[in-house]
């Protein structure tokens, strides 16, 4: 089975162009399952001995230790692995398909108000190259709705600048998808200010940097996803944001604020790079809750406290 696992991960990387993060998650999840299986049946179990009993035993061992979403992710990895084994006729059927996904709550996206986001993107100092970079990064995350992985993967040639705007070629979305995303005036101004300061960061690399990368770290190399999370955390207090706010919160805000302003749900789906409209529809619940608040405050027949008798 471990040989099949190596082949599976190799095909994920080569054929489906899975990201290093995805490959690492698949390997960790599936190796954890194989360890459990080997404890039950001994070393080197064969694919044709895999059945629902083993899978249910594994999921039961995770119950109470991991969240339902994490357990569901591991079952999803098993389903994909079993499909691969069936494709190569190492398995006749997919036993993981017969095991139900754990029920998991779907929390609504956290979407700070536009004024809060304004405070966040204006928090970095304009007097240092790193401060100018941070503002450009925050403006790009919020102004284009990018995932942090997509943002740090941007190269200089992914920008298509115009006099009145700019478009970003996102080449590194999930499963290698590509899309074009516009960036508004504030984002364009912040990016152009950063591009004027960027050579100073690249000089620190002394020839060992990442000259093609858009966002650079203090040593002239490509900025990492963890650094993006730290940058958002650094400026959260200045904006009064929740400690739970993350780079993805800016993406949630992008979608929610666009929807609140009347943007079409299909257009938002394309801009976010969602495969399914159901994923984008999560933001309609956020907007609906706000509409209900407006209704309760404004409509005479709404659920308001009745006036005190005179």
Within this chain, do residues 123 and 201 fall inside the same structural domain, yes or no?
A: yes
Same domain as 224, residue 163: yes
Question: Is 49 considered catalytic here?
Answer: no
- At residue 208's C-alpha, the angle toward residues 212 and 191, to 5°, is 35
Low-confidence ranges of the chain (pLDDT < 50): none
Q: Do 19 and 78 have their domain in common?
A: yes
Identify which of 151, 137, 310, 111 has the alpha carbon closest to the alpha carbon of residue 234.
Answer: 137
Give the model's pLDDT for residue 105.
67
Number of domains present in the structure of the chain: 2
Domain membership of residue 301 (yes or no) is no
- Choose the catalytic residue: 74, 147, 172, 252: 147
Which of 248, 267, 291 is where one domain is finished? 248
- Give the pLDDT of residue 276: 80
Select which of 172, 236, 252, 274 is catalytic.
274
114-122 and 225-239 helices, crossing angle to 10°: 110
* Residues 30 and 78 placed together within one structural domain of the fold: yes
Domain boundary among 63, 98, 133: 98
Residue of 58, 235, 254, 283 marked active site:
283
Q: Confirm whether 299 is a catalytic residue.
A: no
Q: Is residue 129 part of a domain?
A: yes
Q: What pLDDT is attached to residue 141?
A: 96
Residue 204 within any structural domain of the chain: yes
CATH code of 65's domain: 1.10.150.130
Is residue 107 assigned to a domain?
no
Task: Specify whether 86 is located in the same domain as 125.
Answer: no
Same domain for 142 and 221, yes or no, is yes
Q: Which of 7, 169, 174, 204 is catalytic?
A: 174
Q: Say yes or no: 223 and 154 in one domain.
A: yes
Question: In the prediction, which pLDDT does 117 show?
Answer: 92
CATH number at residue 164: 1.10.443.10
Q: Catalytic residue, from 133, 148, 236, 251: name it.
A: 251
What is this structure's pTM?
Answer: 0.64
Residue 18 belongs to what domain range? 2-98
Q: Could you please report the per-residue DSSP string of 180-224?
A: EEEE-HHHHHHHHHHHHHHHHHHHTTTT-S-TTBSSB-TTSSBPP
Residue 249 CA to its chain's centroid (Å):
10
Give the pLDDT score at 308: 57
Same structural domain, 123 and 228: yes
Question: 240 and 124 in one domain?
Answer: yes
Q: Is 73 a catalytic residue?
A: no
Asked whether residue 104 is assigned to any structural domain, the reply reads no
Domain edge (last residue) among 248, 271, 293: 248
- To the query of whether residue 7 is one of the catalytic residues in this protein, the response is no
> What does the pLDDT read at residue 11?
93
138 and 43 co-located in one domain:
no
Do residues 48 and 139 both lie within one domain? no
Residue 112's pLDDT is what? 82
Asked if the structure places residue 54 within a domain, the reply is yes
Q: What is the pLDDT of residue 38?
A: 92
The span from the CA of 25 to the CA of 174, in Å, is: 14
Q: Kindly state whether residue 268 falls inside one of the protein's structural domains.
A: no
- Residue 50: inside a domain, yes or no? yes
Same domain, yes or no, for 242 and 157? yes
198 in active site? no
Across 264-277, b (16+ Cβ under 10 Å) vs e yields eeeebbebbbbeee
Q: Which of these, 129, 119, 127, lies nearest to 219 by C-alpha position?
A: 129
Q: Is 174 a catalytic residue?
A: yes
């Amino acid at each position: 089975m471990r040989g099949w696992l190596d082949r599976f991960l190799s095909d994920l990387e080569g054929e489906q162009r899975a990201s290093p993060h995805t490959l690492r998650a698949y390997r960790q999840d599936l190796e954890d399952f194989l360890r459990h299986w080997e404890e039950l049946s001994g070393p080197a179990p064969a694919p044709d001995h895999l059945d629902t009993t083993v899978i249910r035993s594994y999921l039961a061992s995770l119950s109470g230790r991991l969240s339902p979403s994490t357990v569901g992710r591991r079952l999803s990895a098993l389903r994909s692995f079993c499909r691969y084994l069936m494709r190569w006729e190492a398995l006749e059927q997919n036993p993981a398909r017969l095991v139900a996904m754990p029920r998991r709550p779907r929390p609504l996206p956290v979407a700070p108000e536009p004024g809060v986001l304004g405070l966040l993107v204006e928090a970095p100092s304009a007097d240092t190259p790193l401060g100018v970079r941070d503002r450009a990064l925050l403006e790009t995350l919020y102004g284009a709705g990018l995932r942090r992985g997509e943002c740090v993967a941007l190269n200089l040639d992914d920008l298509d600048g115009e006099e009145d705007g700019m478009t970003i070629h996102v080449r590194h979305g999930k499963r290698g998808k590509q899309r074009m995303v516009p960036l508004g005036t504030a984002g364009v101004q912040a990016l152009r200010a950063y591009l004027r300061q960027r050579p100073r960061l690249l000089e620190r690399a002394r020839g060992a940097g990442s000259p093609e990368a858009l966002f650079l770290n203090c040593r002239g190399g490509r900025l990492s996803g963890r650094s993006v999370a730290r940058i958002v955390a650094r400026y959260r207090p200045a904006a009064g944001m929740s400690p739970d706010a993350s780079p993805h919160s800016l993406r949630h805000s992008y979608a929610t604020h666009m929807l609140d302003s009347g943007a079409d749900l299909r257009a938002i789906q394309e801009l976010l790079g969602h495969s399914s409209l159901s994923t984008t529809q999560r933001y309609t619940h956020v907007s609906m809750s706000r509409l209900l608040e407006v209704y309760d405050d404004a409509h005479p027949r709404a659920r308001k406290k009745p006036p005190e008798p005179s």
